[in-house]
Every structure is written in C-alpha cells, then in structure tokens.
Amino acid sequence: MRPYLFSFKIGGVVVRAEPSWLFLALLVGWSLAVGFFPDQNAALETSTYVFMAILGVFGLTFSIVAHELSHTFVGRAFGMPINRVTLFMFGGAAELEEEPKTPMTELVMALAGPLMSLLLALVFSQLAGLDMTGGPQAPLAMVLAYLGLINLLLAMFNMLPAFPLDGGRVLRAIIWMASGNRRRATRWASLAGEAFAVFFIVAGIFVLLSTGSLGGLWWVLIGLFLRAAAKSSRVELETRVALGEVRAADLVTPGIETADAGMSVADFIADKLVRHHRDWFAVTESGRLVGSAGLAEAQAVPVAARASTPLASIAVRPGPQHLLPAGARADQAFAQMQRHHLQRLFLVDGERFIGVLSLADLLEYARLRNLFADAQLG
C-alpha cells in the first residue's frame, strides 16, 4: 500500500494526499508567511503572518479538493466510476477508472472544475470585501483575498489548452466532436500539452537565469510535470482504447504453469522453481485457486521441514483486488492493476481458476494494436 498523509471520504469519494503534497503545503505556507502577506501589510506580528499562512494553506487545500470533486460528481452523474481524489505536489486529480464515452461527457466534466474555481474566487473575493473583516489590510481579509486570487489563477491555469489540464480536455472534446476520432483528438491535445510544457520550461530557465528568482525553477518543474503527464495520459488512453476491444481471458498467456497445493515444498522447489526457471506459480487444488507461491515463500521454510510441508500451507492467499472475473474486459483489468499497483491478476470463473493475466501482456498487446493503428492513421 502506498503511504498517504491523510485520507477521508466525502459522498463516497476517498480524498487522500500523497507525501509530495506536504512539499507544496510547506512551500506555499513559507511564501505566504515571509513574502506575500508581509508585502500586503508590514505592520503585523510574525506569529500573525504564520497563522495567516496556515489558514491560506488550508484554504488552498479546500479549493483544490472542491475543484476535483466537481469533476468527480459531474462524472459520476454521467455514470462514470470515479471514487478517489488524490492531492500531490502539483495539485490534485480525480482518478478516472475509465475514460469518458462521449465528447459531451468529457466537455462537461472538464468545465466543472474551473467553473467551481471561478465560483470560489467570487465568493472569497466578496467575503474579503465585507466590513466585518476589518478593512482590506486586516488579516482575515488578506487571507480571503488571497484565496479569491488563487482560485482565479487556478481556473485560468487549468483552462490552458494543454492536455491533461482541463483546458486540454476541453480541446480534446471539441476535436473529438469534430472528427469523431477520440484517439486522434487525444494525440492533438497531448501535443498541445507538450508544447505548453516546453514553453514553461524555457520561460522558467529564462526567469531563473535573468533574475535568479526561484519562481523560475517552479515554472521549470511545472513544465517537466506537464510534459510527462501529457505523454503518460496519451499512452494510458491509447492503451485503454486498445484493450477495450478484447476480453481479459483472451490475453491470458497459454501454458502458464501452476503448482498443485498438495505437493511438498521440496518438490515445488525441484519440479517447479528450478526446472521452469520462474520465481512464482499459481497454486491450485482441483482446478480451484488457492494462492501463489514463489522463491520467497519457499526459502522461508527450513530445509529440514521442506519435504513434509505442503505447498498449500505457504501459499499467499489472493485478496479481492487480485481476482478478476473471466468475462471482464482487458481495459477493466488494466484499470484494476493501476488502481492497486499490481503486476498480475488471477482470472477466475466462480471458483474455477482460468489463468494469470500480467501487466506486461496487456501493455504488449496494446502496443502492437496501437502500432498498426498508427499506420492506418498515417
């Protein structure tokens, strides 16, 4: 399991933060406490600036979560399974378990986040102007004004036509509507994302070299992230599209060896691990999956006990996340592997073991399908 700083649920959606989120929170808090707020009002105590910075970080976190939940709940209204929002160093993301089926779904989902940010910008700005805040340079008014500004910037940045940003998804939806080809639309939108990424990198280097400002470094990091995200998002979508046309069971590698649960660990080592040069096997009993066992499990059994220890006793039982119904599509298998960070799944038909599906098999199949699709697209 990957570590998370915190995790909670809203409306059945898990909101969680990766450790990298702490870096963003500390960076934003530091810049607010020593730069942004003192520049607005230099007459306050240091402890006040720190408290204001903490409020600002919490407000930013709330704003990003609200932005991503807007995508999530709109997507769920269209029938899309979206159950997690993850915060990380560069913001947040609603984790799509499958891609939108129509360009209109894509368009509405993409616009939901920026519209929420614009609404929050308006609300925070209006609250900052109320008399109860004690004037524009009062601590609470300054925090609210900052949150209004940051939400406006969040909406503007996300609407850049650079996939996988929201604006890039809007661009993809429009091209998809016009061409009727989601794959081609994704390619053009991701190319736009890479172009914007190069711009951010070049601009950041220029700012860093000409002014020495660390803000330039942040631009470079955003550019590098955006470039990697554009490429990975394109590859992921093309993989899902290619896999959506085939059943998972059709991609199971034939002849995958299994080991009988009743054999001894000594026989398992001699007849399976050594002879077949593989470091793990599915353990079955009368056609039913018991678990898996490999080098680590076999080595953990004392040498003297290996002949008398049945393999079933050391087999690692699969959890629900390791099992896939035999009738599932290959893109569903891919999504499940991504969601749980798995390298393989066990296909089962009720209690009957069908075979093992590996991530490597899925990716190779998708690569070959896309290779010939590229030739057809020209």
**pLDDT at position 255:** 60
Residue 331 sits in the same domain as residue 289: yes
Residue 301 sits in the same domain as residue 333: yes
Q: Give domain status of residue 36, yes or no.
A: yes
Q: Give domain status of residue 154, yes or no.
A: yes
**Under 8 Å CB-to-CB from 229, ≥6 apart: which residues?**
164, 193
Q: Give domain status of residue 232, yes or no.
A: yes
Q: Give domain status of residue 353, yes or no.
A: yes
Q: What is the mean predicted confidence (pLDDT) over 170-185?
A: 90
Domain boundary among 243, 270, 303: 243
Q: Give domain status of residue 323, yes or no.
A: yes
Q: Confidence class of residue 378 from pLDDT cuts 50, 70 and 90?
A: very low
Nearest to 137 by CA among 59, 48, 50: 48
* Percent of residues, the chain, with pLDDT higher than 70: 94
Q: Give domain status of residue 1, yes or no.
A: no
Domain boundary among 223, 243, 263: 243
Residue 226 sits in the same domain as residue 87: yes
Q: Give the CATH number for residue 318.
A: 3.10.580.10
Domain boundary among 175, 209, 243: 243
Residue 72 sits in the same domain as residue 192: yes
**Under 8 Å CB-to-CB from 37, ≥6 apart: which residues?**
44, 49, 52, 53, 56, 142, 146
**pLDDT at position 77:** 92
Residue 268 sits in the same domain as residue 215: no
CB 169 within 8 A of CB 74: no
13 DSSP 8-state letter: E
What does each C-alpha distance from 340 to 9, 156, 344 come to in angstroms?
18, 33, 10
Residue 260 sits in the same domain as residue 228: no
Least confident window among 2-6, 37-41, 271-275: 2-6
Tokens representing 190 are: 């991701």
Q: What is the mean predicted confidence (pLDDT) over 249-275?
A: 84
Residue 215 sits in the same domain as residue 132: yes
Residue 222 sits in the same domain as residue 258: no
**Residue 367 above 90 pLDDT?**
no
d(CA 285, CA 291): 10
Residue 109 sits in the same domain as residue 224: yes
Tokens representing 332 are: 């569903």
Residue 12 sits in the same domain as residue 40: yes
Residue 350 sits in the same domain as residue 266: yes
d(CA 305, CA 239): 46
pTM of the predicted structure, to 2 decimals: 0.73
Residue 198 sits in the same domain as residue 253: no
Q: Give domain status of residue 13, yes or no.
A: yes
* Separation of first and last alpha carbons in the chain: 42
Each residue of 103-139: pLDDT tens digit?
999 999 999 999 999 999 999 999 988 755 566 678 8
Q: Give domain status of residue 206, yes or no.
A: yes
Tokens representing 52 are: 């204001």
Q: How many CA atoms lie within 13 A of 67 on its CB side?
A: 30
DSSP letters of 15-80? Answer: EEE-THHHHHHHHHHHHIIIIIHHHH-TTS-HHHHHHHHHHHHHHHHHHHHHHHHHHHHHHHHTT-
DSSP letters of 290-335? Answer: EEEEEHHHHHTS-GGGTTTSBGGGTPBPPPGGGEEETT-BHHHHHH
If one counts the domains in the chain, the total is 2
Question: Domain range holding 355?
Answer: 248-377
Tokens representing 70 are: 């807007």
